[in-house]
Chain A
């Protein structure tokens, strides 16, 4: 089978955990898997002393009818299932499979010459088939579900990586910094040198492969970043640090988790104000978590020009923290008339 481009074959992404049963490749795979099941059942029959080939023929007929019936129904119900909850999709498809099994069993009975209608033998035939189908389809559905979860986790991770890179290097910041350095090379070469080194550190961290860095290093990047912004904005930017000394400096934190949030604070809170303001960065210990909080003033004038919010930085941090520590550390925002703050928490025992 040749792979056509993903987009051409499947314009909208499948939103349920079930594979697309209208896709030929999926159908072929389903037929193959059910043939394997028929083979297993026939081998079991052979072991218990019945003819292998007859059994394989009969079982294959039966199993393929059930499979094709299910594929047809699951394909037809695809649009309906698209916007349903996982639980709903799960129980509906399970029900479809069981009903199809019962119907095919009854059909098979009616085709068997001389079978006693609805005798104890035919009851066993139907119940046995439903039992096998119930177990096999439960396993299959579970497999589809797990595989889907795994796939979407991988996708989310890839997405957050890309967004991470994009969010970290705001083009404005890069070009403004370059401009600052260009100016400083003449007026203050020593300061220019520091700025180049700070910028290099920041880019090394941002382009680096390391997921996590010790807190001490993260604070170093952050200070380097703030130094560059201070050169650019002069005394408009004031920064107030409040650091709890009892937090171990070796605590592992996601690399560059602070910088994008501080960049946001400067972009929305300091740059739009002619007089500037103070960004507060606080870090405090709270039982088994370390809480970080970044606060910036909100521009006071009614008509101060609107900065088109770029939610990417915050979204990127949200995804990274969720992937790393789960729900409890996802950032939360507080907004008053004059201030905006964003907080997040990292567990002290980050390895668990």
Chain B
């Protein structure tokens, strides 16, 4: 059984490492210090189980778990926490595996015995919980791989039939999230300018007028320009002034 340890505190990682070393048939394939690292290492090392601390800097364990569950063959996840978290209360009904720190050896063993993938109900709780606090990253699946982009690198989202295009400072990528959910999750950083577009206020540079009634938004860093629908013009103008 391949296990990846994720915790931001070095002593916590070393303790898990020691406990796992005593077990036969367990192979620790790596350690990660935050959620982002965990997602990267999971893709590289393909563990069967991820021991995932919930509170971590950068990207927390819940958000990382959410992305991992989008993999084609997601690992089983056992959450660890120092103290009962609000998020775990939400999970309680769905019997997700979690261990409280300091972890008891027999609890760890029991959790490893019956690892399983997150169920649908657990996944939807996970999405709800991570959206409530706001994700730090946007996750895209590219040829079976997960790629993560920090939200602050996103310049705009543009919806097109089935997919949403994410334009970020290094390029663009397609995701499956709904524009409406993104808007709710990241307000007020993201502002809607059109039925099909959300822009990151941090990159909005100005507004161009084209013809009698067509307005376009200009951005820092890129030359793209996006149309502003008439009902959103006033809002963009307010944004530029403020």
Question: How far apart are the CA atoms of A187 and B11 in the complex, in Å?
Answer: 9
The interface stretch among B42-50, B120-128, B132-140, B231-239 is: B132-140
Interface: A274 (CB within 8 A)? yes
Q: Across the interface, which residues of B come within 8 angstroms of A234, CB to CB?
A: 9-10
The interface stretch among B12-20, B89-97, B156-164, B173-181 is: B12-20
Given A175-B101, A179-B102, A274-B33, the answer on whether A303 and B14 have CB atoms closer than 8 Å is no
Interface: A273 (CB within 8 A)? yes
Closest A residue to B33 by beta carbon equals A274
| Residue of B9, B33, B136, B186 with most partner-chain A CB within 10 A | B9
Q: How far is the CB of B8 from chain A (nearest CB, A)?
A: 8
Instruction: Tell me the B1-35 residues at the A interface (CB within 8 Å).
Output: 8-12, 14-15, 18, 33-34
Closest A residue to B11 by beta carbon equals A183
Q: Across the interface, which residues of A come within 8 angstroms of B82, CB to CB?
A: 171-172, 175-176, 179
Q: Across the interface, which residues of B come within 8 angstroms of A274, CB to CB?
A: 8, 33-34, 57-58
Instruction: Tell me the B42-64 residues at the A interface (CB within 8 Å).
Output: 55, 57-60, 63
Instruction: Tell me the A267-286 residues at the B interface (CB within 8 Å).
Output: 271-274
Cβ of A306 and Cβ of B133 under 8 Å apart? Answer: yes
Interface: A41 (CB within 8 A)? no
Q: Across the interface, which residues of A come within 8 angstroms of B83, CB to CB?
A: 171-172, 175
Interface: B100 (CB within 8 A)? yes
Cβ of A187 and Cβ of B14 under 8 Å apart? Answer: yes
| Residue of A232, A233, A272, A305 with most partner-chain B CB within 10 A | A305
Determine the main DSSP class of A at the interface with B. Answer: helix
Query: What is the total of A-B residue contacts with beta carbons within 8 Å?
Result: 88
Closest A residue to B186 by beta carbon equals A303
Q: Across the interface, which residues of B come within 8 angstroms of A184, CB to CB?
A: 11
Interface: A68 (CB within 8 A)? no
Query: Besides the contacts A175-B82, A301-B136, what 16 more A-B pairs have beta carbons closer than 8 Å?
Result: A172-B83, A175-B83, A176-B82, A179-B103, A180-B11, A183-B14, A186-B15, A186-B18, A234-B10, A271-B57, A273-B57, A274-B8, A301-B152, A302-B151, A303-B186, A306-B134
Query: Residues of B with Cβ closer than 8 Å to A?
Result: 8-12, 14-15, 18, 33-34, 55, 57-60, 63, 82-83, 100-103, 133-136, 150-152, 186, 189, 202
24 residue pairs A–B, Cβ–Cβ below 8 Å: A171-B82, A171-B83, A175-B82, A179-B9, A179-B11, A179-B102, A182-B15, A182-B102, A183-B18, A187-B14, A187-B18, A232-B9, A233-B9, A234-B9, A273-B57, A274-B34, A301-B136, A301-B150, A302-B151, A303-B189, A304-B57, A305-B60, A305-B133, A305-B136
